Amino acid sequence: MTDQSVPEARTSEAALEEAVSENVVPEEAVSENDAPRKGVSRRALLGTAGATGLVLGAAGAGVGYAAAPAGATPLTSLGSDRAMFHGKHQPGITEGLQARGHLVAFDLAAGAGRKEAAALLRRWSATAERLMAGEAATHDDTDVARDAGPSSLTVTFGFGHSFFARTGLEKQRPVSLDPLPDFSSDQLDKARSDGDLWVQIGADDALVAFHALRAIQKDAGSAARIRWQMNGFNRTPGATAHRMTARNLMGQLDGTRNPKPAESDFDQRIFVPASGSKDPSWMANGSYAVVRRIRMLLDDWEKLSLTAQENVVGRRKSDGAALTGGTETTAMDLEKTDAKGELVVPVNAHARITRPDQNGGAAILRRPFSYHDGFEADGVPDAGLLFVCWQADPLRGFVPLQRKLDRGDALSKYIRHEASGLFAVPGGAAAGEYVGQRLLES
């Protein structure tokens, strides 16, 4: 997990005394619409700042854009959580699911090539670094996120198959980026699929996420235009009594068997190795993102009984445990039968089919967002999953799993794949670098 702490400003009582007088809120901290009030006591401010690790006003200037004016309530832990832009891997891959997400693909403008793409990635990287630190954008900031902290914001950049021809870098295009095969369940909208460049934005605050989306779009300028854009959401951290696997819009826990960073083969499955790989060197420590807009046919799904729903998935809806018993993490007994001699987990159950040990070890790291784009004229919801999965090689990760699902997944009757994309996501940028620099300046 990326370090999400905010750089500490001075937290001593003396530092707070420099920013806040004994019992008075400075006039500039009071809105014209505020009712007259006594100031917040220094003791209350000290107690709150101590609980959050943040300080106020002048004493909190080190926090930058996220600092609150003197006398205001300091950031909660949710707002102060921070992911780091620079690192071995790009942010937005191993971090926990965020409450709000935006996926957006760009096509380079006519006449734009390698030079323009490099300048664009340089701008985007600089903006992402600032926003992820809770700071304002360098130019023409909209102030949308002025009152918020970093809020676990992550911004991730990737390249589509078409990007390499547009920039004259065909020889640097990875074999793993070859187009995905056709699947029988696909009903893809080409206008909402693929793209030269892909950006994933996630944050635990909706305004922080939108602020980043708007900044990235404005930074594109004349170099690139939006091809498609999708908005998603997850449960807000802290909305449940304890951390748990997310639920999707079908009400099922989604991601129970996700690979864990602590597992010895996690990096091997998810990230391109720094050496000994078929991929070009610029992809070292990178990953491949498969993006699918999956419509859930919720009216049909919700007509099923609870038992029927659980048989389709192969897990209990209440707690995610396999139908063969135990807890969410208890291994599924694929051979267990009931009193009639029938398999407890049906042969076409989604959870059975997707198990790595049923697919030659194929594994993906799921990191999706749910979406809801309103209702159609007949009242049918346009809702489902913005499926994003990560792997070191999509031909050994997503493709064999999807082919298996295509041949007999009980869930396929209740979903529809409507858009698709595959993107090469290079490794993280070192300090002083921009994302993709090793490709664009090779």
- Annotated catalytic residues are 254
Given 3-state DSSP classes, what are the helix, strand and coil percentages for the chain, each rounded to the nearest 5? 30, 20, 55
Give the span between the Cα atoms of 277 and 298, in whole angstroms.
42
- Backbone angles phi and psi of 225, in degrees to 5: -125, 150
Tell me, what DSSP letter sits at residue 205?
A: S
Buried b (16+ CB within 10 A) or exposed e, 418-427: bbbbbbbbbb
Residue bearing tokens 């009582």: 13
Tell me, what DSSP letter sits at residue 180?
A: P
Cβ 50 vs Cβ 11: under 8 Å: yes
- Backbone angles phi and psi of 390, in degrees to 5: -120, 140
200 has which bridge partners? 103, 156
- Backbone angles phi and psi of 207, in degrees to 5: -70, -35
Tell me, what DSSP letter sits at residue 337?
A: B
